[in-house]
Amino acid sequence: MRVNAYAKINWSLRITGKRADGFHDLETLFQTISLHDTLTFEPSDRLKLTCDDPTIPVDKRNLVIRAAGNAKVAIALHKEIPAGGGLGGGSSDAAATLIALGNSSPEIALNLGSDVPFFLTGGTAYATGRGEILTPLPRVTGIPLLLLIPEERVSTARAFGMLRSFSPPLGIERYRTMIDDDLLSHATELINDFEEPIFAMLPSLRTLKTQLYEAGAAWAAMSGSGSTIVGAFRTAEDRDVAREHFKNVRAVAAETL
């Protein structure tokens, strides 16, 4: 069995407060995109994970192993989504494993990570809580994207630790209205609260965002806690022309699903 595990971006990511359990409350608009890892499952006498990226652990540090539980299966993971890039690769791999092995309950998914439940369904979704309280919204499909994936990586835990202020939520109806109207025309409302502290630490990421706008992006932002910077374009031709401006950073063309 071969399964694709699709990446996500965050159209918007507002951190709305800190909880008594040490986690943060957030409001985000998740979106699956065409960039994906691939997992291949074969019968085996024991659980085994291999990966073509030598930097990826293949023991219990990997969510795929934890998602597989006691299954006797050999899993081969082909990586395209960068680890630590804010694109949810590890969580998506875990969700794909749950689905492939028939264990795709939201409760099991949440035990693996806050955004794993989203990847069970994908599409476009409004999320609150830790990111696990999900409401599907009309899918924002076919928007051309350019992902700029720098070598720098950002620890999610460190990113949360750097937050110094919180944003009020917009509410689901505002996002629904923006989607119905034309999401890209509301770029100024689609903010990421992690950008200010992360850009202060890594100014080169701010430069990439600025360069995406200069290259014609209708919207640009950091995804998740970084470090990937995403630009959305009105046409694939505009996106492909913009891609030629970025020679010193990995630039990946994708689209929303």
How far apart, in whole angstroms, are the C-alpha atoms of residue 116 and residue 119? 5
- CB environment 55-78: b (16+ within 10 A), e (fewer): ebebeeebbbbbbbeebebbbebb
Please calculate the CA angle 126-13-197 and round it to the nearest 5 degrees: 170
How far apart, in whole angstroms, are the C-alpha atoms of residue 175 and residue 124? 11
Contact indicator for 249, 169 with CB cutoff of 8 Å: no
The reply to whether 115 belongs to the active site is yes
| Residues forming beta bridges with residue 137, ordered by sequence position | 124
Q: Which of 37, 93, 115, 193 is catalytic?
A: 115
The reply to whether 60 belongs to the active site is no
Question: Which residue from 92, 109, 75 is spatially nearest to 36, judged by alpha carbons?
Answer: 92
Look at phi and psi of residue 171 and say left if phi exceeds 0, alpha if psi is from -120 to 50, else beta: left
Sequence-ordered list of residues with C-beta below 8 angstroms from that of 149, at least 6 positions apart, any chain: 82, 85, 227, 228, 249, 250, 251, 252
Q: Which residue has the tokens 């030598």?
A: 54
Residues recognised as catalytic: 8, 115
